[in-house]
C-alpha cells in the first residue's frame, strides 16, 4: 500500500465539513484514499468545492445539509450518507458551535442550542452509524473536543461543558464499542486559525496568537486533520478511548496573572447562537 494512502478503500462521514477543520479533515481523508460524505448546516459553497476537490482525486464525494439542532435531520443525514456510500467505516464528529458570554447572561435557549449541536447530535448520529460499522465487522469514530474541555477560560462555561461532555462520552463509548471492533477516540485542538476567528474578532491577526502559544504559532486545520486521519487508521489500532490534545503546548503552560479577571472583547456565536 502507498504509505500516504493508509485509509485506501474506506468510506467516511465528516460533519461540519463545509469550512475550517472539518473541511480539511474531509480533504485529508480523500488524499489518503477515502470516499467521503460531507455535512454542512448553512451555506453549501465550501462543502461543494470540497466535493469537487475530492472527486478530482478520483474518489466519491457528496455533501448533504442538516440542522443538527433537530434530531430528525441528524437521522436524515445518516440515511443519506449510508445510501450514497453503501456503508460507513469512519465517522468524524466535527460539527460544533461555540459561544463566549458571561455565565450570568447565558440563556436557556443558548444553552440548549450548544448542547443540541455539540453533544446530542453526535451522540445519536454515532448511534445510527455504528450499526453499519458493526455489520461490517468494525470501524472507527473520531470526535472533536477542545482544550476548553481541560482548561478554564472566562465566558466559556456553556461551551466548555459541551466539550467536557464529549471527552467523557468518548471514554465510555469506546469501552462499549471496542468488543464490536469499533475504536472511538477524540482530538482536542487548541488555537487553530479558521474563518470564524476573522468573523468574531475585529481586525484579527493570526500572527498575534503566536506569543501566547509555546510552539510560537497557531495551528492550521491540516495539523488537526492529520491527527484525525491517524486515529482512524490501523496505525492507531491500540489507541482506544483517548483524547489527544493538539495545541502547540498550550495546556502544558502554567500562566500566572489576572487575565482571567478581564472581560473578553471578541464575540463568538454571532449568526448561529440565538441572541448573540
Query: Residue ranges per domain, the chain?
Result: 11-249
Q: Give the ranges where 20-70 is alpha helix by DSSP (H).
A: 20-31, 45-56
| One pLDDT digit (tens) per residue for the chain, 276 residues | 455 688 999 999 999 999 999 999 999 999 999 999 999 998 789 999 999 999 999 999 999 999 999 999 999 999 999 999 999 999 999 999 999 999 999 999 999 999 999 999 999 999 999 999 999 999 999 999 999 999 999 999 999 999 999 999 999 999 999 999 999 999 999 999 998 888 878 888 889 899 999 999 999 999 999 999 999 999 999 999 999 999 999 999 988 777 877 888 787 888 889 988
The CATH number that domain 11-249 falls under is: 3.40.50.720
Active-site residue, selected from the candidate residues 159, 198, 238, 272: 159
Does the annotation mark 159 as catalytic?
yes
Could you tell me which of 147, 166, 148 has the C-alpha nearest to residue 156?
Answer: 148
Q: Under 8 Å CB-to-CB from 243, ≥6 apart: which residues?
A: 145, 149, 167, 170, 171, 185, 186, 187, 188
Could you tell me which of 92, 243, 99, 98 has the C-alpha nearest to residue 166?
Answer: 243
Q: Under 8 Å CB-to-CB from 257, ≥6 apart: which residues?
A: none
Amino acid at each position: 500500500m502507498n504509505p500516504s494512502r493508509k485509509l485506501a478503500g474506506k468510506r467516511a462521514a465528516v460533519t461540519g465539513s463545509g469550512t475550517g477543520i472539518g473541511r480539511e479533515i474531509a480533504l485529508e481523508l480523500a488524499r489518503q484514499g477515502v470516499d467521503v460524505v460531507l455535512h454542512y448546516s448553512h451555506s453549501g459553497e465550501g462543502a461543494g468545492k470540497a466535493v469537487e476537490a475530492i472527486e478530482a482525486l478520483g474518489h466519491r464525494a457528496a455533501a448533504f445539509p442538516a440542522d443538527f439542532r433537530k434530531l430528525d435531520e441528524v437521522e436524515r443525514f445518516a440515511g443519506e450518507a449510508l445510501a450514497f456510500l453503501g456503508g460507513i467505516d469512519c465517522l468524524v464528529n466535527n460539527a460544533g458551535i461555540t459561544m463566549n458570554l458571561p455565565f450570568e447572561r447565558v440563556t436557556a435557549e443558548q444553552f440548549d442550542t450548544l448542547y443540541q449541536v455539540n453533544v446530542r447530535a453526535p451522540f445519536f448520529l454515532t448511534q445510527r452509524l455504528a450499526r453499519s460499522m458493526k455489520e461490517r465487522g468494525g470501524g472507527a469514530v473520531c470526535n472533536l473536543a477542545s482544550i476548553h474541555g481541560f482548561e478554564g477560560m472566562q465566558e466559556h462555561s456553556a461551551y466548555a461543558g459541551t466539550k467536557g461532555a464529549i471527552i467523557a462520552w468518548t471514554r465510555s463509548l469506546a469501552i462499549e464499542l471496542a468488543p464490536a471492533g469499533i475504536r472511538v477516540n477524540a482530538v482536542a485542538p487548541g488555537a487553530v486559525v479558521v474563518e470564524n476567528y476573522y468573523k468574531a474578532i475585529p481586525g484579527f491577526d493570526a500572527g498575534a496568537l503566536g506569543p501566547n502559544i509555546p510552539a510560537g504559532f497557531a495551528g492550521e486545520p491540516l495539523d488537526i486533520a492529520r491527527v484525525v486521519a491517524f486515529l482512524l487508521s490501523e496505525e492507531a489500532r491500540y489507541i482506544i478511548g483517548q483524547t489527544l490534545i493538539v495545541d502547540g503546548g498550550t495546556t502544558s503552560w502554567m500562566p500566572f496573572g489576572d487575565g482571567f479577571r478581564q472581560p473578553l472583547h471578541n464575540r463568538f456565536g454571532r449568526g448561529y447562537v440565538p441572541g448573540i
